Amino acid sequence: MSRIIYHIDVNSAFLSWEAVYRLYHLGGQVDLREEVAAVGGDMAMRHGIILAKSIPAKQYHIQTGESIVEARQKCPHLKIVPPNYGLYEKCSQAFMEILREYTPDVEQYSIDEAFVDMTGTQGLWGEPLVAANRIRNQIRDELGFTVNVGISENKLLAKMASDFQKPDMVHTLWREEIPAKMWPLPVSDLFFVGRATAKKLLNLGIRTIGDLAGTDPCFLKQHLKKHGEVIWGFANGIDVSVVQPVPPDNKGYGNSTTIAFDVKDASTAKLVLLSLAETVGARLRAAGVKAEVVAVGIRTYDLQYFGHQMTLYNATDITIEIHRYACRLFDELWDGTPIRHLGIHTSRIKDGINIRQLDMFDKTNYEKLEKLDRTVDAVRRRYGKDSIKRAAFVGSQIDHMGGGISKEKRTVDYTKIQID
């Protein structure tokens, strides 16, 4: 039996979810999706980038990921609304619940998109186009926002199909449709071809996906190494990956934060690292794993990036131990240039078996530290993460659990916003 795979993607997700919430819950009269509007971060906190934009905003060439300053240079009257990740999580959950009404084989690919394996469900929901339109209509009618559905025999082609004309559309990209529908597209539209790769391909005279598909893979490997073979396969519609309802284990845990001011002293930087170690350690413990490699990343005020890592003698999930190694890496890496962004990342993840190589010169009571961390985790789970914090953060402008989605992005005080 041929596989039937859908890729379902919410149209302008963050903006759509905000628009629906304002219309149906806040009494709004204006649909943000029909305005020149975008969801953007807080410029004062230096998170001032475009996270999602409306279709009318695309006419001004507003791009996701560019700064609000750049976007407003293109369109001075661009309407910016703040992000509300708490709302997005609820909308995403409702979206996934509808998909799981049709099949248990749903792989959440991101907060606003999923792969769905509909193989063998024709007897329940009809032929692929019929079932896809049924799902699309149900999401629009029950949740108020629209999606695109791409249909094919593998995940790659389904994802390519869902990126065709938007919004609120269903598209197929079966293997026999590749020459007509996919090959004429610019090579930059192919999944896994980023800006740097697209530039290299253009320099090689490869402009369309069809050009790439017809290129000798050995030639591509010479210029792009293994990645060249991978994208050649994608250009020819080759993808053997399967829909995974249960996500694979993480290969690493990390967190980073953009600081509201340039950090110019080591003590402040190490306090930021402590706040990141708190969140990274908590995630490791929640997953029941430990990390054997710790890395620190620094982005300076002029957007230069530097990184450094080390392999630990013993895998750990202890906050203070992660922080200690992070500070050592920081001292070896930092040259005094003002810092805009800091991150801690861990890898080489091990099962959280409590085995530690003894060191006769190390007098640290690691068992006590582990019990302390788990007690703090339990308090925070029950009473909230702000219920207990280290004394070093009292009176500090540094969040005691930094990185990820900040508190100001989790909710929005709509009483302070004019809802049109």
Residues catalogued as catalytic: 113
Q: Which H or E run includes 80?
A: strand 79-81
Looking at the DSSP assignment, which residues form a beta bridge with residue 310?
294
CB atoms within 10 A of CB 389: 17
CA geometry: angle at 417 spanning 415 and 418, to 5°? Answer: 110
CB atoms within 10 A of CB 233: 16
Residue type at 283 in one-letter notation: R
- CB neighbour class for 121 (10 Å; exposed up to 12, middle 13-18, buried from 19): middle
Q: DSSP letter string over 231-277?
A: HHHHHTT-------SSPPPPSEEEEEEEEEEEE-SHHHHHHHHHHHH
| Alpha carbon of residue 297 to chain centroid | 18
Residue with tokens 């690292």: 273
CB atoms within 10 A of CB 193: 22
Residue 153 contacts residue 174 (beta carbons within 8 Å): yes
Half-sphere exposure for 16 (CA within 13 Å, toward CB): 20
Backbone dihedral region of 135: left (phi > 0), alpha (psi from -120 to 50 degrees) or beta? alpha
Dihedral sign computed on CA atoms, order 66, 70, 73, 74: negative
Within 273-328, strands assigned E span: 289-300, 305-316
